[in-house]
Amino acid sequence: IVQMQPNLVSAVNTARQLEGQEEICFVGYVMDVFCIERGRLLDNNSVRTLEGPDRHSLHCLVDVNRCVSSGFEILMDPPADGDQIYARALRLDEFGNQEVLSLARRSGRPGFCSTCIGDLDNQVSGFRATVRGSLVPDSGVPPMIQVNEVAPASEGCGGDMFVPVDVSTEVGGDSTAVVLHGSLMATAWGFLLPTGVLSAVLLRHRPNGLWFQIHKILQVSGFLLAAGGIFVAFRNFGNVYEHKGLPGYKHAVIGLTTMICGFLQIVGGAVRPHAPEYGEKKTKVRLAWELVHKCTGYSAVILAYSAIYLGAQVAGINRDAFLGVFYASVVYTAVVAFIFGIDKITYKKPKPEGDKVAPKGPPRI
């Protein structure tokens, strides 16, 4: 919390304004509470929210459900000779939220944001506004303003702008959904599913179809976890990545493509044509199925690692943690491949006991 200097406040504010008995006027950047609490811009993860509100897109501000529903605050510009950190100055009431949303949509470039009209301006980022209203006493930090009017920033306050007594530069970490989504996806696509693929490639020499049991269990359980992860994404992130110009767009597209490949693998495994008996030729249908199944599986794993890496880049305050998970999954997969490979090279088939005859070839799967 930052306390403003009393002499500065007394020069521009009156006691009636501070008590909510007189209208105040303020101009500043409009920022959704979700991005403030997140710590970094949802649509530009490399930018800290209170350092670069001018880079916050209109699309994120007015189209993304989590941003819109979180409400809005007005930020105070940093002092010319101090740290370039914007402060949380005023929290808008419900009427103010709706008025700001309406003005932002009228000011945004149509086509860049899906709900923008653009009849007032053609902005793509950094939305500022002028707000007039009365302070709500004892409403916390930043204080709430009961809004009477929201106007374009160009209208200004005519040299009579209110200076908040208490402002905040604190941000939170509203990242529960991000952590849940990332954890489910990373566990599934970074660990379980690659292990299942490697078992099918490197453990076929093991008797009694052991590779297939491992493959089936890991692929099904991994896909179920991934399905939970994609549900969390749709439930919480909505249309945040719908615009091609946003950093998370590639993550969303690659992630969905990976999930489609995974779904096709599950369906393909359920309807697979059975392998021929030992010594028989594979049918054309079986050969085609194996080609598609293998190519789709390998592609899904490669895409998954790309999606995990890109997802870490847009994970906000959890970026470094998820990058660590990504690198750990790559190392893990390499170690498992090495162990399975050594087992394949060094494995010796057990000799049959007594009159028992060793089965010819692998089991039909």
Q: pLDDT tens, 58-69?
A: 999 999 988 999
Same-domain pairing of 63 and 29: yes
- Position 256 in a domain: yes
* Pairing verdict, β 144-152 and 87-92: parallel
The residue type at 32:
D
Q: Is residue 101 predicted with pLDDT exceeding 50?
A: yes
Q: Is residue 128 predicted with pLDDT exceeding 50?
A: yes
pLDDT band at 14 (very low <50, low <70, confident <90, very high): low
Mean pLDDT of 143-171: 88
- Position 35 in a domain: yes
The residue type at 238:
G
Same-domain pairing of 196 and 320: yes
SS3 118: coil
- Residue 74 near residue 30, CB atoms below 8 Å: yes
178 vs 185: CA distance, rounded Å: 11
Same-domain pairing of 150 and 288: no
Q: What is the pLDDT of residue 333?
A: 97
Q: Exposure string (b/e) for 10-45, b if CB count within 10 Å is 16 or more?
A: eeebeeebbebeebbbbbbbbbbbbbbbbbbbbbbb
- Position 14 in a domain: no
- Residue 28 near residue 128, CB atoms below 8 Å: yes
Q: What is the pLDDT of residue 332?
A: 97
- Position 159 in a domain: yes
Of the candidates 185, 254, 276, which has an alpha carbon nearest to the alpha carbon of residue 224? 185
- Tally of domains in the chain: 2
Same-domain pairing of 191 and 296: yes
pLDDT band at 2 (very low <50, low <70, confident <90, very high): very low
CATH number at residue 283: 1.20.120.1770
Same-domain pairing of 122 and 231: no
H-only helix segments in 191-283: 193-202, 210-237, 249-270
- Position 333 in a domain: yes
Mean pLDDT of 13-21: 69
Mean pLDDT of 27-44: 90
Same-domain pairing of 58 and 133: yes
Same-domain pairing of 128 and 205: no
Same-domain pairing of 113 and 210: no
Write the CA distances from 245 to 61, 107, 249, 283, 324, integer angstroms.
Answer: 15, 19, 7, 47, 26
pLDDT band at 317 (very low <50, low <70, confident <90, very high): low
Tokens read off for 4: 């403003």
232 vs 234: CA distance, rounded Å: 6
pLDDT in tens, 227-284: 999 999 888 775 555 555 555 788 889 999 999 999 999 999 999 888 887 778 889 9
- Position 81 in a domain: yes
Same-domain pairing of 224 and 285: yes
Burial status of residue 364 (CB atoms within 10 A of its CB: 0-12, 13-18, 19 or more): exposed
Q: What is the pLDDT of residue 11?
A: 41
282 vs 292: CA distance, rounded Å: 15
- Residue 204 near residue 362, CB atoms below 8 Å: yes
Of the candidates 126, 139, 128, 133, which has an alpha carbon nearest to the alpha carbon of residue 162? 133
Q: Is residue 334 predicted with pLDDT exceeding 50?
A: yes
Q: What is the pLDDT of residue 353?
A: 62
Q: Using the 8-state DSSP alphabet, how is residue 321 labeled?
A: H
- Position 114 in a domain: yes
Q: Is residue 331 predicted with pLDDT exceeding 60?
A: yes
Select from 121, 146, 167 the last residue of a domain: 167
Mean pLDDT of 110-120: 93
Q: What is the pLDDT of residue 7?
A: 36
Q: Is residue 285 predicted with pLDDT exceeding 60?
A: yes
SS3 92: strand
- Position 18 in a domain: no
96 vs 100: CA distance, rounded Å: 6
293 vs 302: CA distance, rounded Å: 14
Q: How many residues can be counted in the chain?
A: 365
Same-domain pairing of 195 and 128: no
pLDDT band at 8 (very low <50, low <70, confident <90, very high): very low
Q: What is the pLDDT of residue 174?
A: 46
- Residue 156 near residue 291, CB atoms below 8 Å: no
Select from 167, 192, 213 the last residue of a domain: 167
The residue type at 80:
A
Q: Phi and psi (nearest 5°) for 51?
A: -110, -20
pTM of the shown model: 0.59
Q: Is residue 15 predicted with pLDDT exceeding 60?
A: yes
- Residue 145 near residue 92, CB atoms below 8 Å: yes
- Residue 199 near residue 214, CB atoms below 8 Å: yes
Mean pLDDT of 194-211: 92
56 vs 42: CA distance, rounded Å: 8
Q: Give the range of the structural domain holding residue 312, as residue numbers without chain letter.
A: 176-346
SS3 161: coil
Q: What is the pLDDT of residue 186?
A: 96
Same-domain pairing of 91 and 240: no
Same-domain pairing of 180 and 328: yes
Choose between 353 and 129: higher pLDDT. 129
